[in-house]
Amino acid sequence: MSIQPTAGTDDAGTGDHPSRSDGFVRGASELIGGPLGDHAVALDRPADRESRFWTAARIVLALACLTLALHWVQKSPCQDGAWQNNIQYTRMCYTDVLALYYAEGLNEGKVPYRDHPVEYPVLTGYFMGALGLPVHALGVDNPEINQGQWAYNANALVLSALAVATVAVILALRRRRPWDAALFALAPALFLTATVNWDLLAVGLAAFGFLAWARSRPALAGVLLGLAGAAKMWPLFVLGPILVLALRANRIRAGLTAVGTALVALVAVNLPAAVPYRDNWDRFFELNTTRPIDWGTLWYIGRYLDGKVNTGGPGSMGPFEWLNANIPTLNWLSYALFGLACLGVAVLALRAPKRPRLAQLAFLVVAAFLIFSKVWSQQFVLWLLPLVVLARPKWGAFIAWQVAEIGYFAAFYGELLGSATSRPVFPEGVFVLAATLRLGTVALLCVLVVKEILHPERDAVRDTYADDPDGGVLDGAPDAPWVDRWRRRPEPSEPAAVPAPTAA
């Protein structure tokens, strides 16, 4: 179903300007003269694109490139690998991309999985090898080059290209709202964590999966999400919302097609490593099942509180400390809470007054996974960035969340430096406070998204689009007949008539 542009817009342009439509930006714009005027030139209309180079989309893409360039500068003190005097912590420039070039044996020419176990899903391992092994080969012929620095820069270049591609996908999905993509392009979290690990590989592939689904190509969407899930597990969680929404719209065949092709892609990518090198391939799953409570998680906050309120004397344990000592129970509790959250999202999707948008449900599911997970690494914020931009493109709560992420980033490196030097950098509890604020702002975003699902008239995207621009075959589709019957509550019975009092 094609959606006609709203008044004053065209399909490639936008009637939405943040200084007019977003309350936070409108208030902030008063500092520089107020919202965009009625007679201002809109750089994103076709006539203006013919005469002006700097359209809204190009400005946003340029901003993304600037953010990534600044990120590269921020990581530059660590690029030579000579991490003396804990410079990787004092400059907050640590990156797994460089550290694991040596730890995974790539500097010695070891092939991931064949020669060395890898702690990441297979597509990330293949990616590491595809960029790291050529650098090793180059270093053999040119011993004067710094292999680690070359490997980092090669990875940074490709990962940055994937980040820019993700911005381009957001622009393609929001042609009438191009400034939404500026949330991603200017995000402090992107500046701080873009190349801490290889998460942008999964982010980029998942973004293209979203685009394929929006273009009504469920098979391709499934393949791309399956490949993204072979790089990091979280994109596979998007398949749940796709299935639930397809069920509500009576488009279950498209949903099953996406799930089926995703599983085929996932298995096809894993088989070359899983069959001949099972022990090395299994390292990712082994670490996930045996890993204790990690820094900054809900469970970590609980352990800290255990230490503050536990008065049982030496040897006694609070509940969270007990969970840390009983990891199988911790695993099952984490899975159960995440499963209950997914069930709640499914019920919300089926009971909501209007079918939710795919990005809204995808954000809720991935956020729930992070909230209840026993591991929440600093760069996992990149998972949520494109989802929150597509789900709730409003600046106020987004900025609050990003401020919390900045605080967590600084506190995290303070903890790392304190552990390395045995001298605390911050007072006790500062890191826990930072972790609590991060968790709290993500939970707040979840609450706001749920409110907009229950009150679709508050949804900024629905102000511009009739239904769901990411919905693909679901966009504009009516609900299945059983949905109304299931959602309809029985009418309350008429109250029994009260007999009139009789005279005594």
Is position 14 within any domain?
no
- Tell me what the mean pLDDT of segment 375-388 comes to: 98
pLDDT of residue 3: 35
Question: Is pLDDT of 429 > 90?
Answer: yes
Would you state the structure tokens that stand for residue 106, as one six-digit string?
Answer: 């790539």
> Among 32, 59, 30, 29, which residue's Cα sits nearest to residue 44?
59
CA 391, 397, 398, 401 dihedral sign is: negative
Percentage of the chain with pLDDT > 70? 85
Q: What single DSSP character describes residue 112?
A: B
Residue 412 placed within a domain: yes
Could you tell me if 287 and 119 are in contact, meaning their C-beta atoms sit under 8 angstroms apart?
Answer: yes
If residue 446 lies in a helix (H) or strand (E), which one and from where to where?
helix 430-454
| Separation CA 360–CA 384 (nearest Å) | 11
| Overall average pLDDT of the 260-283 stretch | 96
CA distance 142 to 151: 14
Give the Cβ contact number of residue 290 at 10 Å.
Answer: 10
pLDDT given at position 53: 83
- pLDDT of res. 32: 43
Please, are residues 413 and 231 in contact by the beta-carbon 8 Å criterion?
no
496 band by pLDDT with thresholds 50, 70 and 90? very low
pLDDT at 443 (0 to 100): 98
Q: Give the C-alpha separation, 152 to 459, whole Å.
A: 41
Assigned token pair, 366: 């991935």
CA 471 to CA 246: how far, in whole Å? Answer: 10
pLDDT digits (tens, 9 = 90+) for 40-91: 555 445 555 555 788 999 999 999 999 999 999 999 999 999 999 999 999 9
Q: Does residue 388 register a pLDDT over 70?
A: yes
Does any domain span residue 496?
no
Q: In angstroms, rounded to a whole number, what is the distance separating the alpha carbons of residues 305 and 299?
A: 10
Query: Which residues have CB under 8 Å from 37's CB, separation 6+?
Result: none
Q: Which domain holds residue 259?
A: 55-479
> Contact 34/68 with Cβ under 8 angstroms?
no
Number of domains in the chain: 1
Indicate the pLDDT class of residue 486, thresholds 50, 70 and 90: confident
In a domain, 50, yes or no: no
Q: Is residue 13 part of a domain?
A: no
What does the alpha-carbon distance between residue 17 and residue 67 come to, in Å, rounded to a whole number?
22
Question: In the Cβ-directed half-sphere of 367, how many Cα atoms lie within 13 Å?
Answer: 27
For the cut 90, the answer to whether the pLDDT of residue 431 exceeds it is yes
Q: Is residue 392 part of a domain?
A: yes
Place of tokens 């679901």: 474
Mapping DSSP to helix (H, G, I), strand (E, B) and coil, where does residue 116 land? strand
Examine the pLDDT at 5 and tell me if it is beyond 80: no
Residue with tokens 């420039």: 93
Is residue 6 assigned to a domain?
A: no
**How would you label 417-442 residue by residue, b for 16+ Cβ within 10 Å and e otherwise?**
beeeeeeebeeeebbbbbbbbbbebb
Checking if the pLDDT of 449 tops 80, the result is yes
Is residue 258's pLDDT more than 90? Answer: yes
Task: Report the amino acid identity of residue 17.
Answer: H
Pairwise pLDDT comparison (12 vs 37), residue with the higher score: 37
pLDDT digits (tens, 9 = 90+) for 6-27: 333 344 444 566 656 666 655 5
- Determine, yes or no, domain membership for 199: yes
pLDDT attached to residue 392 = 98
- CB 147, CB 139: distance < 8 Å: yes
